[in-house]
Structure 1
Amino acid sequence: MSTDNSILLNRVFTRNTLREIVESNYSDAYVTAIRRYVANSYGKDNKQLISEIYTVLKREYRNEYYYKNTILNKLLLGVHKPTTTTALTEVSIGKSKADFVLINGRAIVYEIKTELDNLDRLESQITNYYKAITRVSILTCEAHSDALQRRLENSPVGICILTKKGTIREEKKPQEYADKLNKDTMFRVLRKQEYEGIIEKHFGALPDVSQFEYYKACKHLFCQIDTCVAYKEFIAALKKRGQIDIELYNQIPYELKFLVYFSGFKTDDYRKLHSFLQQKEVIPCTSLI
């Protein structure tokens, strides 16, 4: 696929484009994608048009969004339930960012390696993830499968394959590995209200120090908690982050599930998006990519 096409497809399925659609009922990137990828848009509503653009993504350019949206649909919505399981994305852990994290009773990091990625940073990413999460799995394509099997043969890391049909096949089950858990790393992932809640629970009060010393004092207290206990509190705090309106979210089409889940939608946002998806006319594009 040409660079121009890949840039366009990357832009269409982003939170910025979704926000433009919700707030303005229009997006240059979206309209340009219709003109480029939909052979006949006459009489089709936006839900149908988005589905056709997404089909191009699936068939010709399986980028990170395609992987993330697939794993959210297949695992969070297909295997688990959003009422009992929380999904997180782009979680900074050490010097790496976890692509996708699922938390129910336990937590697992999914590091995504698409056909467009290389495996150069994989070892350092895995090392960082194990400092805060005890299960790690790589979601990848058939082309990377053999190389990953060799590299991860004697490790606790799991391997999942996103097949050409769009299904997820587990080739190597992830094993629990807690030896590298690091309370300093876990603390840095937590938000202020999250670590304050844990500290109050275990010590009865928050540090009575200056604002300048406060963060350091909180981290010092957190690091005094037994590692296994601290990890359970850490995971419980992260699990509370996933708050969506299930009834409204269930109405979102498959292609947009990931975007909407992580866009912090309010009731009015769902209403506006629903109205847009039903529309059959697109405002003429004023500027093309």
Structure 2
Amino acid sequence: MTTENMINKMFTVNSLKKIIGEQNNRIYKRTVSSVIEPKNEVSTNLDALKIVYKYMSKNHRNEYFYKNTLINKILLGRHSVRTSTAIRELPILNNILDLLIINGIGQVYEIKTGLDNLLRLQDQLNAYYMVFSYCNVVTDVSHLSAVKELLAKTPTGIILLTNRDTLHVEKEAVEFNDKLNSRTMFNVLRKYEFENILMSEYGILPETTQSKYYEACFELFERINLKKSQEYMLKELKKRNPIDETNYKQFKNVPKEIKSLVYFSDYKNKEYNELNDFLESKYIKGDS
């Protein structure tokens, strides 16, 4: 298995949980061993993670690296984790939206790394505009010219992940509402979320059989003005924020290298304590 494949396997929500619980140490130790250099000083597991992440920055900026950069620099750097919410891998029609950040408005971030192609990009954006009014493509210099040409006369924003791992806005996203679609918005919502919306708008829920309940709810949702229904939807999606007063302090201390993994893991106090114990523990070298 290549170093790049091992990194991809290591930086996932489930893999981190297993590594902390010492259920998946083999892939972790092999990954660290494959990137470590004699000059590196590795005392703790945090040191080891930092070395792997630095390797990613220079050699393998995969989708996780992009998402983690967006979480660190936009959700946490530009906004506040207390007042904004990030949602990853949201299904919309036949697509999976990479990252959504809600802070008053909903901003879509579709990631195209240097490892990706642009074949489906237009179809993906068309789907996302049925639900959200602001979309951005985040890419690197290898795709920049092609993305600029493709999106020149569109409302879609373009963000460059520079070689210094900063985010440079090449083109600002402009509000675009022409494709908003009630059905597609409704399908994004969970049952209790669209019920909250209907109660807010009408004060009642439909009385019908279980088999007809979903469509009856949609018929009521469809009657709401499109922009108002989008506002309702964003308000409900924003409530999915996994960070609150009970875990804010613990989350704030999570190292930037694994910030998005922890954010999307819904950790409780017990998990944060286990994470801290792991990071502070002595790194024990494994087989390469």
Structure 1's 82 and 148: CA in aligned 2 closer, same or farther, altered over 3 A? same
Other-structure match for 2:277 = 275
Cα distance in structure 2, aligned partners of 1:28 and 1:43: 17
Cα distance in structure 2, aligned partners of 1:67 and 1:170: 14
Kept after mapping to 2: 8 A contact 1:26/1:283: no
Other-structure match for 1:35 = 33
Per the normalisation by structure 1, the TM-score is 0.94
Cα deviation for residue 26 of structure 1 reads 5.0
Letter in 1 for 2:35: Y
1:103 matches 2:102? yes
1:97-246 equivalences under 5 Å are 97-244=96-243, 245-246=247-248
Gaps of 5+ in 1: none
Q: Alignment partner of 2:2: what SS?
A: helix
Other-structure match for 1:79 = 78
- How many residues were matched structurally? 284
Gaps of 5+ in 2: none
Q: Alignment partner of 1:219: what SS?
A: helix
Kept after mapping to 1: 8 A contact 2:41/2:47: no
Cα deviation for residue 24 of structure 1 reads 3.2
Structure 1's 283 and 218: CA in aligned 2 closer, same or farther, altered over 3 A? farther
Letter in 2 for 1:265: Y
Cα deviation for residue 43 of structure 1 reads 5.3
1:144-166: CA deviation from partner (whole Å, max 9, x where unpaired): 11111111111000000000000
Structure 1's 156 and 42: CA in aligned 2 closer, same or farther, altered over 3 A? closer
Q: Alignment partner of 1:67: what SS?
A: helix
Cα distance in structure 2, aligned partners of 1:42 and 1:148: 40
Cα deviation for residue 21 of structure 1 reads 2.3
Per the normalisation by structure 2, the TM-score is 0.95
Structure 1's 283 and 52: CA in aligned 2 closer, same or farther, altered over 3 A? closer
Percent identity, please.
37
Kept after mapping to 2: 8 A contact 1:160/1:172: yes
Letter in 1 for 2:249: E
Q: Which moved more, 1:104-113 or 1:20-29?
A: 20-29
Cα distance in structure 2, aligned partners of 1:253 and 1:25: 22
Other-structure match for 1:69 = 68
Letter in 1 for 2:29: V
Letter in 2 for 1:57: M
1:54 matches 2:62? no
Letter in 2 for 1:81: S
Kept after mapping to 1: 8 A contact 2:6/2:31: yes
Kept after mapping to 1: 8 A contact 2:106/2:134: yes
